[in-house]
């Protein structure tokens, strides 16, 4: 048994002081409030449950700080992204993703959902090991010390009725059935759970959705929904309905489903998503970087949708900023503050996110839960003097001091156990651009 002690701790019943947390076999075995720090490792500041980063494309990290000048849109950015995708192989992806996942650990992320679609070689031929790219991601997360939900993504077409472009061939399997075969060859392990994804209604034709849903049964199923107005237009032209309704008709919406973005959904879509009991993953820093628009967070929440967040393209890896962005964008749209309260933002960051990734036993500091702890300094220039209950309105990823994942200290004194993560990242990114 290991014991930790926190001056302040975010428990399910609120922020309490002088909390002792016992850990054995990677799980929390005791929580005692008003305890003394005897025989316990003292954690600084405020201790939070681990954060879930529900939506990641690890290789997009290589575009950070290189694609933000000049004019453009989501679609011109996508061309840049495809150029990087064309250069990846299992070795370079392992190196890059290790750095990216270590950066996430430094930011308090204890579990990441990787929406993975770079499956095959650059000509679209399967690697000798058909899941070599997914295995690279699995190994990267293991090295970085974080948990992974590998959302193996079905990607079949370049748009509705549009053939694959040459670079998209490496994302695609021959059919949904071929994709399902590849999915079935992948097993959970101690730190990885396998899930499924429909890339979008652009990339998976209506007739193939059912096959994906069947293969995904019992697993998390994620799908990009209405990130762009043009997706809605194309869907309406081809099928006479919205992407949300189309997915619902294909039985793709339910309690294990997470819709990603949900930016341009109608009131009818929102009600339907609520009735289906889905989660919605908003990615505010990406959505604003790409000029996508603002997702209706509060309306989704009111409809019964569980909100969570992801850093998606990783122009920023700071989940405080994602949940803060969700609330700030609501304020900008409505002229009203406090659209989502701190405990609701904390649920998005922790419990809802972990459930969406298929780890319902994570995200809460309670007996029996996975021993994931994030200690945030309350003595930095950003956090000095704050009320800890409002931490997400003040702290940044740079204030995170210690991260414990499954009882293991992955980050201590703001340093990752792999050493200089910035060097890992610059080496891996430079190699893709030279």
Q: What positions carry a catalytic annotation? A: 261, 312
Q: Which of 115, 203, 215 is nearest to 156 (CA)?
A: 203
Place of tokens 């077409």: 157
Considering just the CA atoms, what is the radius of gyration of the chain in Å?
Answer: 21
Within 13 Å of residue 385, how many CA atoms lie on the same side as its CB?
2
Residue 398 DSSP one-character state? G
Residue 112 has φ and ψ, to the nearest 5°, of: -125, 140
Within 13 Å of residue 157, how many CA atoms lie on the same side as its CB?
15
Rounded distance between C-alpha atoms, residue 257 and residue 277, angstroms: 8
Residue 241 has φ and ψ, to the nearest 5°, of: -155, 175
Residue 6 has φ and ψ, to the nearest 5°, of: -120, 130
Q: Which of 183, 222, 169 is nearest to 199 (CA)?
A: 222
| Residues paired with 376 in a beta bridge | 46, 400
Rounded distance between C-alpha atoms, residue 227 and residue 241, angstroms: 16
- What six digits make up the tokens of 122? 């650059």
Rounded distance between C-alpha atoms, residue 403 and residue 178, angstroms: 39
Under a CB-based contact definition with an 8 Å cutoff, are residues 226 and 263 in contact? yes
């Amino acid at each position: 048994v290991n014991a930790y002690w926190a001056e302040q701790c975010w428990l399910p019943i609120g922020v309490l002081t002088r909390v002792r947390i016992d850990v054995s076999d990677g799980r929390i075995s005791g929580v005692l409030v008003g305890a003394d720090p005897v025989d316990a490792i003292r954690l600084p500041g405020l201790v939070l449950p681990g954060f879930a980063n529900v939506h990641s494309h690890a290789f997009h990290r290589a575009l950070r700080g290189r694609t933000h000048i000049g004019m453009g849109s989501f679609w011109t950015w996508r061309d840049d992204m495809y150029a990087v995708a064309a250069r990846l192989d299992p070795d370079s992806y392992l190196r890059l993703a290790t750095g990216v996942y270590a950066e996430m650990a430094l930011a308090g992320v204890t579990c990441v959902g990787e929406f993975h679609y770079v499956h095959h070689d650059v000509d679209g031929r399967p690697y000798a090991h058909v899941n070599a790219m997914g295995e690279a991601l699995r190994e990267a997360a293991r090295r970085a010390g974080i948990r992974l939900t590998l959302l193996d993504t079905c990607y079949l077409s370049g748009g509705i009725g549009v053939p694959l472009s040459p670079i998209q061939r490496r994302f695609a399997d021959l059919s949904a059935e071929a994709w399902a075969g590849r999915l079935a060859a992948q097993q959970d392990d101690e730190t990885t759970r396998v899930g499924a994804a429909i890339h979008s209604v652009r990339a998976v034709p209506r007739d193939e959705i059912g096959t994906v849903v069947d293969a995904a049964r019992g697993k998390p199923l994620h799908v990009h929904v209405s990130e762009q107005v043009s997706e809605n237009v194309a869907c309406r032209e081809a099928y006479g309905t919205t992407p949300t309704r189309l997915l619902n008709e294909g039985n793709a919406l339910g309690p294990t489903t997470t819709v990603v973005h949900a930016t341009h959904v109608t009131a009818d879509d929102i009600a339907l998503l609520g009735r289906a009991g889905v989660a919605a993953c908003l990615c505010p820093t990406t959505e604003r970087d790409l000029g996508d628009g603002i997702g209706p967070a509060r309306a989704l929440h009111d409809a019964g949708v569980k909100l969570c967040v992801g850093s998606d393209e990783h122009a920023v890896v700071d989940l405080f900023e994602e949940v803060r962005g969700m609330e700030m964008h609501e304020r900008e749209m409505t002229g009203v503050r406090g659209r989502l309260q701190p405990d609701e933002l904390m649920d998005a960051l922790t419990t809802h996110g972990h459930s969406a990734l298929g780890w319902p036993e994570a995200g809460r500091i309670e007996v029996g839960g996975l021993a994931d702890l994030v200690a945030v300094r309350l003595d930095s220039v950003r956090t000095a003097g704050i009320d800890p209950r409002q931490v997400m309105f003040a702290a940044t990823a740079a204030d995170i001091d210690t991260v414990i994942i499954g009882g293991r200290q992955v980050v201590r004194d703001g340093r990752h156990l792999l050493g200089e993560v910035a060097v890992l990242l610059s080496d891996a990114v430079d190699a893709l651009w030279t």
